[in-house]
Amino acid sequence: MSNRTGLPSAASALGGLDLLVNNLGGGGDNELAATFLESTDEQWAQMFDLNFFSMVRTTRAALPSLLDRRGGIINFSSMSGRIPHTAPLTYAATKGAVNTFSKGLAEEFGPQGVRVNTISPGPVRTEQWAGPDGFGAKLAAARGISQEQLLRDVPREMGSTTGTFAEPHQVAALVAYLASPLASAIHGADYAIDGGAIKTA
C-alpha cells in the first residue's frame, strides 16, 4: 500500500480498519466558472484529482483491511451527480463518476462482505457556504448580494422543498446510521440529503 494516503500507518496503529468514509471534495480553482467553454483541461484534471482520484487511491489502500474485517465504505457524492448543473460542470461530472465508482465497488466487494453506500448531499451549512472565505462568500460577491441573502436563496434555487440548508450534524447522523449494524442490509444505496431537491423517484 502507498504511504500517500496515510492508511497503512492508521491500519497498523488501530489493528485494522472497519470503516472508510471518503468525504473530501470541492470546486478547486474552478468554483465560479459559468460555462463549459470557460473551463480548461487543467481545471478538469484538477477537479477529477481532487474529487475522484483521491477517493480511488484511498479506497485501494483501505480495501485489504476492510476485506479482512468485513468493513464498510461510505462515499460522499453530491446531488450534482444526479441532477448535473453547470456551476461548474467539472464538479458535477466528478460526482457522477463517484456514483458509478461506488456502484461498481458495491457489486465487486459486496459478496466479500464489504458494504458500500453513497451519500449525496444538497447544500449543507458548512464553512464552505457560510464561512467568510468560502465558496458562499465568493459567490455572493460575484452576484453583488450579501452572504446572508445568498444563504436564503440557494436552497430554493437548488429546488429544495424545505427551503433550508441541511446541517452538518444531520449528515453526520446519516453516516453513523449507515456505519452501524442497524444498516447491515443496506448496500449499494445512494442516500440524498437535500431537502427534497431531487424530484425523481
User: What nine digits make up the cell of 136?
Assistant: 458562499
CA 130 to chain centre: 18
Same domain as 79, residue 154: no
Q: Which domain holds residue 129?
A: 124-165
* Total count of domains within the chain: 2
Same domain as 28, residue 43: yes
Q: Specify the pLDDT at position 28.
A: 55
Same domain as 130, residue 61: no
Q: Specify the pLDDT at position 152.
A: 95
Q: In which residue ranges of the chain is pLDDT below 50?
A: 1-3
Same domain as 117, residue 137: no
Among the listed residues 76, 91, 129, 165, the single catalytic one is 91
Same domain as 15, residue 112: yes
Q: Specify the pLDDT at position 59.
A: 97
Same domain as 85, residue 152: no
76 within domain boundaries: yes
pTM (2 d.p.):
0.89
91 catalytic per annotation: yes
The angle formed by the CA atoms of residues 82, 87 and 93, to the nearest 5 degrees, is 45
CB atoms inside a 10 Å sphere around CB 128:
17
160 within domain boundaries: yes
Same domain as 87, residue 185: yes
Rg of the chain over CA atoms, in angstroms?
Answer: 18
Q: Specify the pLDDT at position 106.
A: 98
pLDDT digits (tens, 9 = 90+) for 19-35: 999 998 777 555 555 68
Same domain as 134, residue 118: no
Same domain as 171, residue 110: yes
CA-CA distance, 179 to 196, in Å (whole number)?
23
pLDDT digits (tens, 9 = 90+) for 72-86: 999 999 999 998 776
Q: Which residue has the cell 460526482?
A: 95
3 within domain boundaries: no
Same domain as 107, residue 43: yes
Same domain as 98, residue 179: yes
Q: What percent of the chain has pLDDT over 70?
A: 91
CATH number, residue 17? 3.40.50.720
